[in-house]
Structure 1
């Protein structure tokens, strides 16, 4: 099972897009407060389209509450401060994969990252850019985890309706 964890997300449109991605890949979305929006806002629903009702979303008062309710899971921390690329871990060896992303304006606090240095991962990018959009980052890493796990139970082929190969 894939678990996407957002630490203090600020933008409802990003969270809505991430929710839609979670539904598409069967992931649970964990939201750690404070949130920069209310979960019933129109913008979050608009970005998530009609998929939001199918989302398994869980909220937590803070990071400690998240750890307590999830029994201290192994968490990959997505951060521009990491030494390892997101494609390096052997995700297929783990039953539950948790990947945490920080808020749009500041990322994951360094005091949290210090305890997870071995599982910090980054998406490589050119040095002239600070970071990618949060929803894009989640999609990149989520589908890398699923690729490692062989896309079990996923529809992996499509078909043109009007024309046949």
Structure 2
């Protein structure tokens, strides 16, 4: 399983997601521009001592990610999704893509996979869920569907 963060802005969110990835064997992909340095103390603190247990790849842009994962299912997490995240049949090689905290995914990325836009149901009272929470919710549904392989 893969989590892709496009232009993440808040180091604590990325650190928390890295921790979740380490504990689930999920690969983490960060797409530039990053709103922080990978040496950021908040990033490291949020990831605790899990950074050496997660595979992290940094990409220059989303086009590189798209090319690398050609042939994989790529799901875009967005409040503008057409189906709920649990209505997808996930596989172990799927790619879960999340946008930056303040803007989400840009329209040009959303237009690449219109049939694979997924969302988490929530009340429409303004802002959406925290990025780290949203990533964990969707990832764990995908892991549940694939039998939590390799997890105890």
TM range (shorter): over 0.9
Moved over 6 A (4+): none
TM-score (normalizing by structure 2): 0.96
Alignment of 1:81-96 (within 5 A): 81-91=80-90, 94-96=91-93
Show the counterpart of 1:154: 151
The reply on whether 1:122 has 2:119 as its aligned counterpart is yes
Show the counterpart of 1:41: 40
The answer on whether the counterparts of 2:6 and 2:98 sit within 8 Å (CA) in structure 1 is yes
The answer on whether the counterparts of 1:67 and 1:73 sit within 8 Å (CA) in structure 2 is no
Which has the higher Rg, Structure 1 or Structure 2?
1
Where do 5+ consecutive residues of structure 1 fail to align? Answer: 156-165
The answer on whether the counterparts of 1:23 and 1:54 sit within 8 Å (CA) in structure 2 is yes
TM-score (normalizing by structure 1): 0.89
**Secondary structure of residue in 2 paired with 1:132:** coil
Alignment of 1:135-150 (within 5 A): 135-150=132-147
Show the counterpart of 1:29: 28
Q: For the residues of structure 2 that align with 1:70 and 1:53, how far apart are their CA atoms?
A: 24
- How many matched pairs? 152
Question: Post-superposition shift, 1:69?
Answer: 3.0
The answer on whether the counterparts of 1:7 and 1:100 sit within 8 Å (CA) in structure 2 is yes
